[in-house]
Chains A and B, each alone.
Chain A
């Protein structure tokens, strides 16, 4: 039963590159160069913040895969796998720390 849910999640990972067919940037998530070209300037706060944090896999890309469409799609799928594994693990770890136990099932 639980297996079927895993099939769905794995299918989502495999199909994830469909999510990058839409090339436009979401509203309010522009990079500094996009702002520069639409506004003519980059607001100071955004300029400064662009250096605050360097994600290891920026925009779900895996830098060592290089460039090109295959690397882009492969990187997206790998990012989906890595993110899924980390998130699954953290959620399990957190519930462990919380010390969940068996509860009597209440029915209304």
Chain B
């Protein structure tokens, strides 16, 4: 889901980066005000986890690949604003050092995976796990469903961003300038990869990791400790 440079027009990149600037600002302000310093190592490990889990590409029957992102796990454990920052850092390093995702498309990729995804996942999880016991089956199911739903929303967003390109930007003779596939191809392709495989991978990773955290440090997995969480 890492959109490379050149697939989105400069104006699309600028728009989505423009959306992310206030999001990053708000995230920084929120963390400064609400996050306890003792959570910092966990946030840094969360960013590393997001980076590493994204290296595990999983084959999709249609001849592409997908991967989990860890964004929902971080949102559940440390809150969505912490996830915004942690996943953004992972995406930035992926783009700069490894050429995974464009440098100019960083804002777009952050919008999909570091903003939409953690927030959708966080609220889905919150809704389903409401008043569940920490470490309970319902909490883990809630995490799994949140992971599944959130990565699919992020994939849909990426599909839309890809798909609008040939509608808006072509050369004089109608040849696409950027992503050559329209909404009719891009959305089904992104949706198929994540509805069939990617979503399950994210869901299972999120639920299993949360289970591990609930055993290792129950206070981090606790549902109602508001320290540094909340939106």
> Which residues of A line the B interface, CB within 8 A?
1-2, 4-6, 8-9, 12-13, 16, 18-22, 24-29, 35, 39, 41, 43-50, 52-60, 76, 79-80, 82-84, 86-88, 90-92, 94-95, 98-103, 105-108
Contact = CB atoms under 8 A, between A and B. Distances in A.
Contact of B180 (A12, A43, A52, A82): A43
Contact of A99 (B1, B32, B53, B58): B32
A49 B180 contact: no
Contact of B99 (A9, A22, A58): A58
Which residue, of A9, A50, A53, has the highest number of chain B Cβ atoms within 10 A? A53
B51 A53 contact: no
Interface of B: 1-7, 9, 28, 31-32, 34-38, 40-45, 47-49, 51-53, 55-60, 63-67, 85-86, 89-90, 93-100, 102-104, 158, 162, 169, 171, 175-181, 186, 189-190, 193, 212, 216-217, 224-228
Nearest to B48: A84
Contacts of A53: 5, 95, 99, 102-103
A25 B64 CA distance: 5
Contacts, number: 214
Which residue, of B42, B63, B97, has the highest number of chain A Cβ atoms within 10 A? B97
Ranked 10 nearest A-B pairs via Cβ: A49-B6, A55-B99, A46-B6, A91-B44, A49-B5, A22-B59, A19-B56, A45-B178, A12-B52, A27-B64
Nearest to A17: B55
Given A13-B52, A26-B2, A83-B94, 10 more contacts: A19-B57, A27-B189, A43-B176, A44-B171, A55-B98, A91-B86, A95-B40, A100-B31, A105-B225, A108-B226
Nearest to A91: B44
Contact of A49 (B4, B51, B63, B224): B4
Nearest to B179: A28
Contacts of B97: 55-57, 79, 82-83, 86
Contacts of A26: 1-2, 57, 64-67, 193
A103 B34 contact: yes
Contact of B47 (A19, A45, A87): A87
A105 B36 contact: yes
Contacts of A79: 55, 97-98
Contacts of B98: 55, 57-60, 79, 83
Contact of B53 (A12, A28, A41): A12
Which residue, of B48, B49, B178, has the highest number of chain A Cβ atoms within 10 A? B48
Given A28-B186, A28-B190, A102-B37, A108 B175 contact: no
Which residue, of A6, A86, A92, has the highest number of chain B Cβ atoms within 10 A? A86
Contacts of B102: 49, 53
